[in-house]
Amino acid sequence: MQEETLIVEDVLLLMLDDEHGVPAGAATLQQTLAGAVLVELALLGRIRPEEDRPWYKGTKILATGDGPLPDPVLQAAYDAIAARPRHAQTLLVTIGADLWKTLTERLVQRGLLRRERKRVLGLFTTTRLPAADTGHEAELRDRMREVLEHGEDADPRLAAIIALISASGTLPSLDPAPKWSGAVATRAKEFEQGDWGAAAVNDAVVGVAASFTAASTAVVITTVTT
């Protein structure tokens, strides 16, 4: 039975080219992955913006609740926030610093990625991370296509994944990518802006909006719970 993946792991799998393991949006990958960890903590009710203010630039993020979290990646991020509340922009750098190494190692160990090392000209060693077991990723891509191409509802977890990838600007460059159209672009932007629709989220509406650029580590994450 496949071990359940984190939101951040699903985001990374979707962003990696299956043949070579090259990530889309490499310039903002660190921020995107860190943002995914923050989003999952928010969905679990373990972090919130100070004084229940929107998560915009200048707002500190606070740890809430107690007890252990179900995954060491989430626990490490939570502990960093609990030790010293910081602005989201700072947390993206702090949390994202070692995520690539940690996540790729986990995905290799789980058999979802394969590590290949090759010598180039007998001097340099290159490492590739092609997909190994693509079943989980294929299912995730199919669900994402149903939402973006056919207007199906998305649960909060899938909505967050779509929002993060859309906000990173990498959705059109995923390999393989959803069938691109103006309607798909509009639908993805709606998720990015938190317009998920009540039917998709049952009792809670959690909106995630993020903005990534190659020249800046800034990200804005908005979470609304009703």
Least confident of 81-90, 134-143, 155-164, 196-205: 196-205
CA dist 226 and 83 (Å) reads 28
Q: Do 167 and 153 touch, CB atoms closer than 8 A? A: no
CA dist 162 and 149 (Å) reads 12
The pLDDT confidence band at residue 54, using thresholds 50, 70 and 90, is: low
Looking at residue 55, its pLDDT comes to 57
Looking at residue 194, its pLDDT comes to 67
Q: Do 217 and 31 touch, CB atoms closer than 8 A? A: yes
Give per-residue pLDDT as tens, 166-192.
Answer: 888 888 888 777 777 888 888 888 887
- Residue 31 sits at the vertex; the CA angle it makes with 67 and 37, to the nearest 5 degrees, is 20
Query: Would you identify the CATH topology of the domain 7-201?
Result: yeast vps74-n-term truncation variant fold (1.10.3630)
DSSP 8-state class, residue 62: E
Give per-residue pLDDT as tens, 85-131.
Answer: 887 778 888 888 889 999 999 999 999 888 877 766 666 677 777 88
Distances (CA, A) of 47 to 4, 66, 133: 22, 11, 33
Q: pTM for this structure?
A: 0.82
Give the mean pLDDT of the chain.
Answer: 77
